[in-house]
Structure 1
Amino acid sequence: MTRRHEHIADELRRAIAEGRHPVGAALPSESELAAAHGVSRGTLRQAFGTLQAEGLIGSRQGARRVVLSTTPSQSFTELRSFAQWARAGGRTPGGQVLDSRRAAATDAEAGLLQLAPGDEVLHILRIRTLDDDPVLLERTVYAGWTAEAVEQAPADCESVTQHLQDTVGLFMSHGEHHLDAVAAGTVDARELGVRRGSPLLRVRRTTTTPEGRPVETSDDRYRPGSVVFTVRNSVQANPLARTTPDRPAP
């Protein structure tokens, strides 16, 4: 069931996207919004926190929240799956498993997943889409203890993260990300519809449970023009955010 602050965040997000609160405009005061929604200021501040993490609004002590953007982004101060990020931005995520196989962990994989070299891991090659357009090729290695649960997910599962949470109660709460650029290989070029050697944005990530146990490590490669990583600086925080590029005017 959707929690109250999430419902309020959804309503404010929609109002911002529809232009009822344009960029640069101040939102109504806390007291006005709390009264309008019949909630406490604490609940309202939770909703504000969600929108601030998405880069939609900013705050300054003693002043009203101001709209910064009409497009939600994923701040890397929080952990979200690809599907959660896409839906927050009004996009439709998709996915298709292209290859799945169990193998013995390499030394590098074992180190990242806190396994012994040779322990079993599950390799998944998966194409991800936004509004049916291929934008991301994931090469994910899951620790062997998660393999059976991952294999039970449908090949076109929208979110393996959500599947694991719903079916076996496995939560991923911490992630480490490394960003760089690589040249598209043969598989990258074929699946992402680019020329071999084209520059791709790569994000290498390792995700763990709340207890710090590694679940997966992945090499994610984005098609050029499909995603933008933005750093927003302020005196309060300096988050890195993931967004889709601005769409060209019709």
Structure 2
Amino acid sequence: MKVLLADDDPQLVRALRITLAAHGYQVVTAADGAAAVAAAASEHPDIVVLDLGMPRLDGVSVVEAVRGWSDVPIIVVSGRTGSADKVGALDAGADDYVTKPFQIDELLARLRALGRRTGGATAAPVVRFGDVEVDRATKAVTRAGERVHLTPTEWRMLEVLARNPGALVTRQDLLKELWGTEQVSDTGYLRLYVSQLRKKLEPDPARPRHLLTEAGMGYRLVVD
């Protein structure tokens, strides 16, 4: 089982790497938040052990970024003991929270418990269709190598579709993802945002090949 260990304390990382390796784990490490997101995308770990207070990108932001494409189990290991920190990490998508200092037996037990889950990446962090590349880890979209600017709502819609390539995403699911409730009435907003995405990403927006409408149901992203 591969563990991504993300912490900016080199002594702790060294000690945990030795201990985890002795218990049969393969360990990859990251010393800051940005490196942790990159490693999660490239290394496909089975479990992530993550500190909250890291440079470049804090732990909560790392959890949110990884949750954009993966349900890999995440254990937050932090010296922060406040309930607000714990709630923030768990609400962002972490599965467990261990307070430093901790007993190694406790961490190993939590690793075993989460390791019994069938997790891992549920969709590739990078999705490609035509000459478009959607990097869900960095929230970047390029077309023919050129960066494409999307509004926050356009990005959220595209990210939901890219999270489910080839699958129908219903109007109700999109409304809930974009505005937090299924009760929001679709008065043409979804059609408007899909139209804008087509103008930016389709070779011929009038004859879309990738961002397709399923009449009466929702939308589908067709990848090559």
Give the TM-score of the pair, scaled to structure 2.
0.31
Bigger proportion of residues as strand: 1
Q: With structure 1 as the length reference, what TM-score do the two structures score?
A: 0.29
